Amino acid sequence: MNNDIHYMEQALELARYAEQQGEVPVGAIVVFQNEIIGKGWNQPITNSDPTAHAEIIAMRDAAKKMGNYRLIDCDLYVTLEPCAMCAGAMVHARIKRLIYGTPDPRSGAAGSVFNLTNSQQLNHRIIVEQSALTDFCRDILQAFFAKKR
């Protein structure tokens, strides 16, 4: 559990960086054998790329380091519950465990709106846990969107 908090704090730092870049503040970390092998933060605006979500970037980074698109036995920490695109990519990558910061009641695909991470129709299921740092993850997003209004 202490490692989970440590890694989620790292994801929160990346979310803050995304916000500084004018992006929605979401950060993600991929961990293999207690080592961070992938980092990502939201970059769709910066990169003009609708797939440049924090989770996708972190998995791309990890896959390059692993030399394999399959991220077997890896954990993914992300400050916001993944969307359908990211959850689907996690299933394809064979992520072992997903730890997310705050639920996304509008488009969350790890149980809130959809449950792609544990769908019996798919060939891989992911252990899903909500972080102990939910309040911090929620607050950074709420503050960001409050400034936009």
pLDDT in tens, 50-69: 999 999 999 999 999 999 99
The mean per-residue pLDDT over the stretch 89-96 comes to 98
CB-based contacts of 35, cutoff 8 Å, min separation 6: none
> Residue 148's pLDDT is what?
79
Band the pLDDT of 2: cuts 50, 70, 90: confident
Which tokens in the block code for residue 146? Answer: 């409050």
- Which residues are annotated as catalytic? 55
Band the pLDDT of 1: cuts 50, 70, 90: low
If residue 102 lies in a helix (H) or strand (E), which one and from where to where? strand 97-102
> Residue 149's pLDDT is what?
77
- The one-letter code for the residue type at 142 is Q
What does pLDDT average to over the chain? 96
Cα separation, 68 vs 4, in Å, equals 24
Q: What percent of the chain clears pLDDT 90, i.e. is strictly above it?
A: 97
* Residue that is written with structure tokens 């769709």 in the block: 44
pLDDT tens sequence across 17-45: 999 999 999 999 999 999 999 999 999 99
Query: Which pTM value belongs to this model?
Result: 0.96
CB-based contacts of 64, cutoff 8 Å, min separation 6: none
